[in-house]
Amino acid sequence: MGDPVVLETFWNSAWLSALTAVLGVFFGALICYALIGTKPDGHFRNAINAVSGVLAQFAGVPLAFAYIATMGLNGMVTVFLKESLGIDIYANGTWLYEMPGLILPYLAFQIPLMVIVFLPALEALKPQWAEANATLGGRRSAFWLRIGLPVLAPSLVGSLLLLFANAFSAYATAAALISQGSQIVPLQIRAALASETVLGHENLGGALALGMILTMIVVMSLYSVVERRASRWRR
């Protein structure tokens, strides 16, 4: 586990998961905030909920194929930008098939997942709190800084941890996009299991899996603690 390659692999998984979790929380929270202004049982809200439920599960090889078909070397968007606008998005390398190329596909299921898990918390904010703030002369910014965000903080932190765990454990999308190397932990485990007979690396796959399990236990334990606190405001 102390091998520099293994440590770099865990670091790659950590920063990729953290970045997509932060971006997923940010954009997902903005979508949830916009949905609060719609009717709870309206067609638009139901449509967004349905689409989010589908996209949150749309991962793996189908998601990778969708990005290759649209933004790959010969994808529709790539060809359109190059032939119509003279913009070559691959002028500096084949980024879609490397670590940076995983960010957009991961966000495709991270943001919908954030919408699903955070919208109930945002709906739990009582209108009476905003009315009381306005009655006492408070501005909208004061409501969010002193009431809204402190109440939503456990849910935001819990959603961040959940999205981190979701990205950290993702495998199929990365396996379909990144054909060379094993830059993240799930791909490193696959490579280790395929070469268990290499001298000195007989149990590398098991060690990597153990490290991944321990990471997930820590993250999900923190999520459980935060979620219990957040659930008090939904009653």
CA distance 139 to 123: 20
Contacts of residue 38, Cβ cutoff 8 Å, sequence gap at least 6: 44, 45
Inform me whether the pLDDT recorded for 234 exceeds 60.
no
Would the pLDDT of 230 be above 80? no
pLDDT band for 15, please (50, 70, 90 cuts).
very high
Which pLDDT value is given to residue 154?
83
* Confidence check: pLDDT of 25 > 90: yes
Condensed to tens digits (0 to 9), the pLDDT of residues 186-225 reads 888 888 777 655 556 667 778 888 888 898 899 888 888 8
- Provide, rounded to the nearest whole percent, the portion of the chain with pLDDT above 90: 20
pLDDT value, residue 27: 95
pLDDT at 17: 93
Q: Is 200 left (phi over 0), alpha (psi -120 to 50) or beta?
A: left
In whole angstroms, give the CA distance from residue 176 to residue 180. Answer: 10
Rounded average pLDDT over 127-153: 80
Q: What would the pLDDT profile of 59-114 be if each residue is shown by its tens digit?
A: 888 888 998 899 888 889 888 988 888 888 877 777 788 888 899 999 999 999 99
Q: What pLDDT is recorded for position 26?
A: 95
Quote the pLDDT of residue 181. Answer: 65
CATH class of 4-234: mainly alpha
Residue 49: partners with Cβ closer than 8 Å, 6 or more residues away:
115, 116, 119
Longest dimension (CA), the chain: 73
